[in-house]
Amino acid sequence: MDKRNRKNFRVWVCGLSAIGVALAFCLATPQTVPAPLTNSVGRVLPSDAAAPDRQIFRYMFREPTTLDIGVAAYEADGTYFAFERLTLLDENNLLVPGAADRWVSSPDGKTWTFSLRPGAKWSDGRPVTAHDFVYSYRRMLDPASGNVYAFLYYVIKGGKAYNQGQLKNVEQVGIRAINDLTFQMETEGPCPYLPYITAFITSSPAPHWQVEKYGAKWTEPEYCVSNFTYRLAEWKHGQSMTFALDPNYNGSRKAYLEKILVKFIGGQRPGTAPYENGEIDAYLLDPLDYARVRKDPKLNTEVARIAEFTTWYLFFKTASPPFNDLRVRRAIAKAIDRETLCRVVLNDLAIPAYSMLPPGFPGYAGAEMKSYQAYDPEKARALMAEAGFPGGRGFPATELWLRIADTTLNRVAAEAIQAMLKKQLGITLNIQFHQRTLFNDRLVDWQIPMGMLAFAYDYPDPSNMLGLLWRSQPKGYGRHDWQHGAFDRLIDQANTEMNAGRRYTLYTQAERILAEEAGAVFLFHPMVTELRKPYLRGIKKDASGRDVPLMSIQTVNFTDVYVAKP
């Protein structure tokens, strides 16, 4: 090798050596990988999530008067984040573990045993025990609690008798703790749907030491103790309330969002301005909002629409004239054009209802129910004439009661119904808006001559929307005075039937009586229509691929929601 080549060779070798040294250095030095973001309770955020301090979800709702959901369902409406029930419902309305890891029934379906999750704590650090649930369920049935939803628990052995004063000793009610982590309920008869009842929001536990010490004030921020993924952090009366992640929660429902901020709606709905101004992240639309939003090329892309298991209906004081006459109730049912009501008046925010169970609800048989309350103005006028009110002559002017706190959807619907009944039947309705408390008190006392109301499902079983609501109860223990012996017998049979097919057949027979006898006049099933900011991610979908409502009573829907990076 000549001198020149030897020199080039040395340069090549030196260069190769340098590369080797550099490569060896790189391999020997650990690479810096950004640590994943975690929130305040240690849950790792998705890679596209914004910083933890931006994980706040803001929406609007009316202000509750208490969070004591176990005995004050209506007053605590809209705030369900703080209390974990024994069981929960997921986005498909399937039962999933809550405070109980597992549950089992006896072979006869009359004794249900729930095993609580070990290590669970209240937000003040006390252990969650079966004794807490014994206290809470007894309190739900205690006549002194004034719980308007106590009838939900009448399936419990002795529950109805205790709540209605025939049984004085609460120890005889079928509620007991086997040990600190085993809770048991005994029912009056076979009860295949009991775990659905334990999943409902009113089945939330209450901390007895706080209730006994502070009474009605126990849900104020300085006293409120809870057991779920969120705790009440702040309550500015008249303005807002904030729920924050609870570090003591050890269950599987730890959420991404650090906080949920509920801004209170005053007397008038604000429209979409707060959403468009960036003050809130989601907004529930009413018909007037939606009429404008769907014409807006930007806002329309941020709309989500989901069918809801809710039924709006007209109800009557059926024990008194003129509504004790079946022909009058049927005439009203057939004088309402539900297709026009839903498509035109409500701007497609609802679908027509001809029976109680909504489409898709277990046991739904709406197609065969339609004929009983289908729009037929000629038949409606003939029925009114048969009842002695031809053309509405002699029919007394009647008040139609509505709750003032409900959405504008019921207002525009009521006005349309008022016009339809005047046009088709010649009868005059005077629409009256009343505060929620007065309305609810008169409702259970059967003192509303005619009213318009919604019932949203508590759990996905016909025993709820048919049995719980329409099975007759004494005054003060049920919403409505309509009674029908055959209907009651069918409901009672269905409620204790362990075979699902036979149960649904019995419920369908009962629902047919309800529709045909016009125990209520069914109007529409609303569509949940929400505006949602594009940066909201992790919204759950059901088995058919549809988004679930964000502002839902099923709080597990919030656990995977997060705010994405800009």
| Distance, CA of 331 to CA of 426 (rounded, Å) | 12
Tell me what the mean pLDDT of segment 404-428 comes to.
89
DSSP state of 128: P
Tell me what the mean pLDDT of segment 45-71 comes to.
94
- DSSP secondary structure of 30-46: PPP-PPPPB-TTSPBPP
Q: What is the pLDDT of residues 424-448, one digit of tens each?
A: 999 999 999 998 889 988 998 999 9
| Distance, CA of 191 to CA of 156 (rounded, Å) | 9
pLDDT grade for 66, boundaries at 50, 70 and 90:
very high
| Distance, CA of 262 to CA of 427 (rounded, Å) | 42
Are 250 and 44 contacting, i.e. CB atoms less than 8 angstroms apart? no
3-state secondary structure of 24: helix
| Distance, CA of 400 to CA of 451 (rounded, Å) | 5
Question: Which tokens hold the place of 201?
Answer: 């929001």
pLDDT grade for 20, boundaries at 50, 70 and 90:
very low
Report pLDDT for 33: 62
Cβ neighbours of residue 493 under 8 Å, at least 6 residues apart?
506
H helix intervals, 228-375 = 273-276, 287-293, 326-334, 338-340, 366-373
Pairing of strands 100-105, 111-116: antiparallel
Q: Give the residue carrying structure tokens 């003591």.
A: 248
Tell me what the mean pLDDT of segment 178-204 comes to.
96
Q: What is the pLDDT of residues 484-543, one digit of tens each?
A: 999 999 999 999 998 989 999 999 999 999 999 999 999 999 998 999 999 999 998 888
What are the backbone angles phi and psi of residue 502, rounded to the nearest 5°?
-65, -40
What are the backbone angles phi and psi of residue 44, rounded to the nearest 5°?
-75, 125
Q: Would you say residue 3 has pLDDT above 90?
A: no
Secondary element (H or E) of residue 420: helix 408-425
Report pLDDT for 406: 58
Q: Would you say residue 379 has pLDDT above 90?
A: yes
Are 306 and 546 contacting, i.e. CB atoms less than 8 angstroms apart? yes
Percent of the chain predicted with pLDDT > 70: 92
3-state SS of 491-560?
HHHHHCCCCHHHHHHHHHHHHHHHHHCCCCEEEEEEEEEEEECCCEECCCECCCCCECCCCCCCHHHHCC
Q: Would you say residue 419 has pLDDT above 50?
A: yes
Number of neighbouring beta carbons within 10 Å of residue 383: 23
Q: What is the pLDDT of residues 269-305, one digit of tens each?
A: 788 999 999 999 999 888 888 989 999 999 999 999 8
pLDDT grade for 462, boundaries at 50, 70 and 90:
very high
3-state secondary structure of 484: coil
Q: Would you say residue 408 has pLDDT above 80?
A: no
Question: Which tokens hold the place of 130?
Answer: 């079966």
| Distance, CA of 241 to CA of 558 (rounded, Å) | 17
Q: Would you say residue 397 has pLDDT above 80?
A: yes
Where do the DSSP E strands lie in 359-465? 398-403, 429-434, 450-456
Q: What is the pLDDT of residues 94-153, one digit of tens each?
A: 999 999 999 999 999 999 999 999 999 999 999 999 999 999 999 999 999 999 889 899
pLDDT grade for 405, boundaries at 50, 70 and 90:
low
Are 477 and 468 contacting, i.e. CB atoms less than 8 angstroms apart? no
- All domains in the chain, ordered by first residue: 65-213 (3.90.76.10), 216-304+531-563 (3.40.190.10), 310-526 (3.10.105.10)
Cβ neighbours of residue 10 under 8 Å, at least 6 residues apart?
none
Amino acid, res. 203: S
Bridge partners (DSSP) listed for residue 316:
450
pLDDT grade for 476, boundaries at 50, 70 and 90:
confident
Tell me what the mean pLDDT of segment 366-387 comes to.
94
| Cis amide leading into 322 (omega within 30) | yes
Where do the DSSP E strands lie in 14-144? 56-62, 87-89, 95-97, 100-105, 111-116
| Distance, CA of 340 to CA of 305 (rounded, Å) | 20
Are 314 and 523 contacting, i.e. CB atoms less than 8 angstroms apart? yes
| Distance, CA of 197 to CA of 72 (rounded, Å) | 16
Q: What is the pLDDT of residues 117-130, one digit of tens each?
A: 999 999 999 999 99
Q: Which among 19-33, 363-377, 404-418 has the top mean pLDDT?
A: 363-377
| Distance, CA of 494 to CA of 564 (rounded, Å) | 47
Are 409 and 523 contacting, i.e. CB atoms less than 8 angstroms apart? no
pLDDT grade for 557, boundaries at 50, 70 and 90:
confident
CA nearest neighbour of 117 among 173, 178, 171, 183: 183
CA nearest neighbour of 410 among 273, 266, 288: 288
pLDDT grade for 368, boundaries at 50, 70 and 90:
confident
Question: Which tokens hold the place of 309?
Answer: 């298991």
Q: Is 24 left (phi over 0), alpha (psi -120 to 50) or beta?
A: alpha
pLDDT grade for 544, boundaries at 50, 70 and 90:
confident
Report pLDDT for 9: 41
Pairing of strands 429-434, 398-403: parallel
What are the backbone angles phi and psi of residue 412, rounded to the nearest 5°?
-70, -35
Tell me what the mean pLDDT of segment 340-360 comes to.
94
Report pLDDT for 134: 98
Question: Average pLDDT over the chain, rounded to whole?
Answer: 90
| Distance, CA of 143 to CA of 386 (rounded, Å) | 44
pLDDT grade for 21, boundaries at 50, 70 and 90:
very low
| Distance, CA of 459 to CA of 140 (rounded, Å) | 18
Task: Provide the total of helices (H) and of strands (E) in the chain, helices listed first.
Answer: 17, 20
pLDDT grade for 409, boundaries at 50, 70 and 90:
confident
Question: Which tokens hold the place of 286?
Answer: 């009413």
